[in-house]
Every structure is written in structure tokens, then in C-alpha cells.
Amino acid sequence: MLDGQTAGQRINAGKARSMDMITSALFELLEKRPFVDISITDICETAGVARKTFYRNFDNKISVVERLVDQVFFEFMQKYDFKTSGARKIYLYWFEYILCTREFGLIFFDPTLYEFIMGKICEFVEIELAETLHSSASFDPMLSEYYLRFAAAGIASIMREWMKNDCKTPAKTMAALTARLLSGVTA
């Protein structure tokens, strides 16, 4: 042990580095062409890794995107609690995050990945809003999937439109608008 790390820690650091290189390569390629036109070979060549390295870390192309989105949602959920943070603060985080992260713009504007991000936002909304939705006076459990899909589609649509307009409206204004528009869903 040269630096006090175990062999497992070095392997995990190497794996993480490979995963980061592959993720960066995919998003670099997404800036030039649609997701459906990008092959595993393209990703590996751009990342400078072998195909076996790709498949050691990922099942397919979408799992690369999923890794990034899941990391973002995980970090977010560690940082904020919907019950104590409030909707406006949570939406502000998302709009500010988009300002700093080009990958999310690429996801929102690729037709194949837009449906994927909608599904992920639905998962997030279900986790974060479940208690708020279920305790709402107007909530009908038989219609919960519709509430979730409506909220997710609203959030995704607002964010996509904002990005299409080059994020000109301040993030704080967008967060307040989102909270106001979705307040009927959780009221």
C-alpha cells in the first residue's frame, strides 16, 4: 500500500474514473448528434476506453445517462427535504442547477432522452411529493398516477421552455412560477 489505500479503494477509484470518462464522452457526443445516432463504439473511442470497460460499468447507453441523473437526484435528496424546504426553494435549486449543467440541456432537448427524463422526474416527484400529495384534501388515490404525471410533465415542460429561451428569466422567478402553477396539484 503506497498511500494508505487498500486495493479495493484503488479499484473503486479506477472504476469511478472510467465511469466519469464514459459519461463525459457520451455528453460530448450528444452536443454533436442525437442519442439514437451514438453507438457504444463511438462512446468508447471518445472516452479512450475499451468496450469491455464500458460493459464492466454500464449495461447500455441509457444507463450512462441514468447514472448522471440518479447522482443529481441523490445529491438533491440528501440536501433538501420537501416537507421542510418548501416547493419554491426546491424548484430554485433545479433552475440554478440547470444553469450550471450543460448535460441537462442535452437531455431535455434530445427526443429519445426527453421521455427518459420525464420518467425520472416522475420517480422524483413520487418520492418527494408523495406525502404532500397523499395528505392533500383533493387527492384521490385512484388517480395518483395522473397527479404525478401532471406534476412531472409540468416541471419538465417549464424547464425545457426556459432553456429554449436561453434561461433569460431569473431562476428565482422561474421557481416561484413553478411553485405557483403546481400549487393546485399539492393543495
Query: Model confidence over 58-114: pLDDT tens digits?
Result: 999 999 999 988 888 787 777 776 667 777 888 888 888 888 877 877 888 888 888
**What is the pLDDT, as a whole number, of residue 1?**
44
Q: Are residues 66 and 123 in the same domain?
A: yes
Residues whose CB falls within 8 Å of the CB of residue 11, separated by 6 or more in sequence, listed in order: none
Q: Is residue 136 pLDDT above 70, yes or no?
A: no
Q: Are residues 169 and 136 in the same domain?
A: yes
Q: Are residues 66 and 51 in the same domain?
A: no
Mean pLDDT of all residues in 22-45: 95
Query: Model confidence over 144-174: pLDDT tens digits?
Result: 778 777 888 888 888 889 988 988 999 999 9
When divided into structural domains, the chain yields a total of: 2
Domain that holds residue 64: 60-186
Query: Model confidence over 46-66: pLDDT tens digits?
Result: 999 999 999 999 999 999 999
The overall average pLDDT reported for the chain is 82
Which residue is it, cell 464514459? Answer: 22
Q: Are residues 111 and 127 in the same domain?
A: yes
CATH number at residue 46: 1.10.10.60
Residues whose CB falls within 8 Å of the CB of residue 81, separated by 6 or more in sequence, listed in order: none
Instruction: Tell which wins on pLDDT, 27 or 10.
Output: 27
SS3 call for 31: coil
Mean pLDDT of all residues in 104-132: 79
Q: Are residues 90 and 49 in the same domain?
A: no
Q: Are residues 86 and 167 in the same domain?
A: yes
Q: Are residues 71 and 101 in the same domain?
A: yes
- Counting Cα atoms < 13 Å in the Cβ hemisphere of 160 gives 18
